Amino acid sequence: MGAESSLRGGTAAAFFDLDRTLMEGSSAFQFGRAAYRAGLMGRRQLVADAWANIRFRLRGSTDSDTEALRDRISASLEGVRVRDLERLGADVLAGVLPRIYPQMLAVAYEHQDAGRRIYIVTAASQELADLLAYVLRFDGAIGSRFSEVVDGVHTGRPVGQFVYRTGKAVAIAELAESESIDLAESYAYSDSESDLPMLRAVGRPVVVNADQALTRIARQEGWEVLRFERLGRRLKTAVALLGTAVAGGIGSAALSARARQAAERRSARRRPWQRRQRP
């Protein structure tokens, strides 16, 4: 638990990862869409982000993907005014809020009603995390700082702790220390193997829409498992339906061909008789 910062006797809390846990898909993609519409991102990068979002929803995150995303976001912010990013807030929310899992909100509010503080913990920006926490009425949020700011303008140089993998566990431990949170009695919710440090930092881990690696570990550890993600199931269903339609089309074509062949044979058999009947 890190320097015995579980602080037994303190207030318990519940920590929620954002992407694929609290919401469907990737918040980074929703930020990218808003940035593109505001002229802060090119079409090619938006298409790349869209494909990355689909891969993420199907198989979860990887360390290399996440680190590359952080570096790209940090670099892309060079020269951008803080004010311009703040103005993206409403557009980003318009993309994120419809994708919040109502089931997970219900879980969060149950914790809150039971006296536990609830927090968003995400590799996404601190600004987005704070905005979502305010709108969703969470008690707080922990996010990443992607770029140094000088005179109201982003420099593009990464700054502060990246709230990813061990960074999430460290950030939670620091919050527990400052807020007298009992981590041994607290909950954590996440979808990815990369969040094992966060899940193991609390006494009551829960996996949500888990990737294969985390699903296997959850079964071994006897952790609670929740699943709301539907994209993979929808794609499998679509492929099955497409296969059925193709098979049905082939079958129909074969039947039609057979019917035509039979009609031609009947017609050929009738023709000699028809010739004999002519005057």
Burial of 105 (0-12, 13-18, 19+ CB in 10 A): middle
Query: Quick check: is 91 catalytic?
Result: no
Phi/psi at 23 (nearest 5 deg)?
-135, 160
Provide the b/e sequence for 166-189 (b: ≥16 CB within 10 Å).
Answer: ebbbbbbbebbbeeebbbbbbbbb
Q: How far apart are CA 132 and CA 138, in angstroms?
A: 8
Ramachandran area for residue 227 (φ above 0: left; ψ -120 to 50: alpha; else beta): beta
From the list 17, 49, 182, 195, the catalytic residue is 17
Query: Quick check: is 17 catalytic?
Result: yes
From the list 19, 49, 191, 195, the catalytic residue is 19
Q: How far apart are CA 54 and CA 260, in angstroms?
A: 46
Q: How far apart are CA 188 and CA 76, in angstroms?
A: 32
Which residues are designated catalytic?
Answer: 17, 19
